[in-house]
Amino acid sequence: MKHSFQKLIAILFAFVVSSTEAATLVYVSNAADGTISSYRLNPNDGAMEVLATTPAGKSVMPMAVSPDKRYLYASIRSQPFSVTSYSIEAKSGALTHLSTTGLPDSMAYISTDRTGRYLFGASYGGDVVSVNPIESNGQVNGTAAQVVKTGRMAHAILPSPSNRFVYASNLGSGQLLQFTFDESNGLLRANTPAFALPMGNPGTRHFVFSPDGKFVYASNELLGTVSTYAFDNATGWLTLVESVSGVPASLGLKDGVILPPGSPADSTPRIWAADLHITPNGKFIYMSERTSSTICAFGVDANTGKLTFLGSTAVEKQPRGFNIDPDGKYIVVTGEKSPEIGVYAIGQTEGTLTLLKRYPAGQGANWVEIVEFK
């Protein structure tokens, strides 16, 4: 009896400790301030606690979290172009600076491979993608393993769930580049065919894999559409299924354009789509549109991958970046021209967004990473 009682106490103690240590942490990069804001998100009600502001570097923008959640990487898009590596303290959310190392160009997007041994970068201005080794201590090696010239305006780069393939978007050509990836040495090779091409040039920007790995969804900056691609895990090929608009005519926006350097300013209100994320259950997809300051929602048919536009929600001004918590209950939205970030509840049946509360953010807030420790 005594032994059983002691065992029960030990189980209860372990539960209390694990509950205390569990945390959902939110990191927001503030380009104009050169800082990263950190918050703790309550998974029960969506309330956030402001934790700290960590120095990063002028024009800090895209970030990535290592697969084991131990490290945060932040791309510095001012000269000298670099990436800053931080360790994440799971209980407090504190970021500890490990190193700042050079990157081949100004990276509009960074991600890691599935092993956490390589950092991928996509440069919008340099028209390149790159691969840098990550050391066992979490620090990025400043000597690139590879730099690959792409089409115009490389914008995002991600590995497939198997880590055998890597994809990169080219906004200038509308293509999704297809690579094979050798995780033993970090080298990319053009697949055959070398790219998946949607109809016309919609300005392919960000993309995500469906949770079941059957489809890839890409936001198209110039048209405000989301394209569905069927993914062949054996060959790595992407095949266009369809594209669906997320910008209702009632917003009064014209199609986006890519202006040549030195062109006069264009005052026409145009579509300017940006970030894209899918809920963990694969039921809903959300895309941000900066000109109208809205987040648009799509329902997902899990069998065909096809989308249905559900509606749009007004959010923070010029929402370049947002993210969804790992439980699929909340969206955290930044606005580059807003002094605050917003937390929205996701309607689990209809996908509707309901504002819960706004919290202070730095200037030029533009990217969100959410890390859950259980």
**CATH number of the domain to which 33 belongs:** 2.130.10.10
Give the domain range for residue 46.
Answer: 24-373
Residue range 106-148, pLDDT digits in tens? 999 999 999 999 999 999 999 999 999 999 999 999 999 999 9
178, part of any domain: yes
115, part of any domain: yes
The structural domain count of the chain equals 1
Contacts of 52 (CB under 8 A, 6+ apart): 37, 38, 93, 94, 95
pTM across the whole model = 0.93
In sign, the C-alpha dihedral spanning 219, 256, 322, 61 is positive
1, part of any domain: no
pLDDT band at 12 (very low <50, low <70, confident <90, very high): very low
pLDDT band at 262 (very low <50, low <70, confident <90, very high): confident
Q: What is the mean pLDDT of residues 35-59?
A: 98
18, part of any domain: no
Check whether 259 has a pLDDT greater than 90: no
Residue range 272-286, pLDDT digits in tens? 999 999 999 999 999
- Percent of the chain whose predicted confidence (pLDDT) is above 70: 94
Distance CA 153, CA 360 (A): 32
3, part of any domain: no
Which pLDDT score is estimated for 354? Answer: 98
137, part of any domain: yes
In sign, the C-alpha dihedral spanning 194, 74, 215, 117 is positive
Which pLDDT score is estimated for 21? Answer: 54
Q: What is the mean pLDDT of residues 199-222?
A: 95
Integer angstrom CA distances of residue 192 from 100, 155, 159: 36, 21, 17
Q: What is the mean pLDDT of residues 179-183?
A: 98
Which pLDDT score is estimated for 201? Answer: 86
10, part of any domain: no
CB 141 within 8 A of CB 134: yes
Q: What is the DSSP letter of 250?
A: G
19, part of any domain: no
CB 274 within 8 A of CB 219: yes
- Percent of the chain whose predicted confidence (pLDDT) is above 90: 90
Residue range 320-369, pLDDT digits in tens? 999 999 999 999 999 999 999 999 999 999 999 999 999 999 999 999 99
CB atoms near residue 182 (< 10 Å): 12
